[in-house]
């Protein structure tokens, strides 16, 4: 069962990498890969103080947050020869972070990424033990479980090389991706009509 597959991710052997080392290693792989790279995002809030647009959103300046997204060069961090397919699980009502990220992912989709949104109700049956992990599937023998702390700050990743687990994870993500909605359509329907979020900084 896919649920059992995702539960195994947290138990399988892996090498934990700090954030900087993980970023460099992933970039190296993405620079020469072909085919499809899968990314699964489940958490409803991440802490991204290094992204000026995120900071503007947290401070309640939605117009500036959107304007800064428009200035970002997503082509620079997309794989040059592979297709990045991101499955973004969304809870409703949307958190301010999810509203901001939907705007960000819509812009990334227009730059070449293939992001889709999936209602969290579609994965409830896969989450008996815990929420789905945050995953990046690079290939049949390489996957990362991306790690975050209690406030959603990125702390690194676990490198997993067990192909007996990676392939079923990729298949499970792909199956959910087929049921998900294109991010641009999701944004236009669910996010664009809303009043701007009021910010989340305390």
| Contact criterion met (CB below 8 Å) for 123 and 41 | no
Contact in structure between 22 and 155 (CB atoms under 8 Å): no
Q: Can you give the pLDDT at residue 164?
A: 95
Give mean pLDDT, residues 94-106. 96
Answer left, alpha or beta for residue 112, where phi above 0 means left and psi between -120 and 50 means alpha.
left
Give the three-class secondary structure for 72.
Answer: coil
Residue 45 vs residues 55, 152, 165: alpha-carbon distances, Å: 13, 6, 27
pLDDT band at 77 (very low <50, low <70, confident <90, very high): confident
The helix or strand, by DSSP H or E, that contains position 89, with its residue range, turns out to be strand 82-90
The overall average pLDDT reported for the chain is 94
Tokens representing 170 are: 């990729």
- What architecture is the 2-191 domain classified under in CATH? 2-Layer Sandwich (3.30)
Structure confidence at residue 75 (pLDDT)? 83
pLDDT (tens digit, 9 = 90+) per residue, 48-69? 999 999 999 999 999 999 999 9
**Residue 160, pLDDT above cutoff 90:** yes
Cα distance between residue 99 and residue 45, in whole Å: 10
- pLDDT tens-digit profile of 21-52? 999 999 999 999 999 999 999 999 999 999 99
199 or 180: which leads in pLDDT:
180
For residue 42, with 0-12 CB atoms within 10 Å meaning exposed, 13-18 middle and 19 or more buried, which class applies? buried
pLDDT tens, position by position, 113-144 = 999 999 999 999 999 889 999 999 999 999 99
pLDDT of residue 202: 39
Model pTM? 0.94
């Amino acid at each position: 069962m896919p649920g059992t597959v995702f539960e195994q991710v947290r138990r399988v052997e892996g090498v934990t990498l700090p954030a900087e080392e993980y970023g460099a290693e992933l970039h190296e792989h993405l620079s020469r890969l072909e085919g499809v790279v899968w990314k699964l995002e489940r958490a409803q809030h991440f802490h991204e103080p290094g992204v000026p647009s995120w900071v503007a959103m947290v401070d309640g300046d939605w117009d500036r947050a959107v304007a800064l997204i428009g200035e970002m060069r997503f082509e620079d961090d997309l794989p040059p020869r592979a297709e990045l397919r991101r499955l973004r699980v969304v809870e409703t009502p949307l958190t301010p972070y999810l509203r901001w990220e939907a705007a960000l992912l819509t812009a990334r989709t227009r730059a070449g990424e293939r992001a889709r949104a999936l209602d969290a109700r579609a994965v409830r049956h896969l989450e008996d033990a815990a929420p789905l992990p945050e995953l990046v599937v690079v290939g049949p023998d390489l996957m990362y479980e991306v790690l975050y702390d209690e406030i959603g700050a990125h702390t690194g990743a676990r490198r997993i090389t067990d192909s007996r687990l990676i392939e079923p994870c990729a298949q499970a993500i792909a199956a959910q991706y087929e049921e998900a909605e294109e991010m641009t359509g999701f944004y236009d329907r669910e996010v664009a009509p809303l009043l701007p979020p009021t910010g989340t900084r305390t």
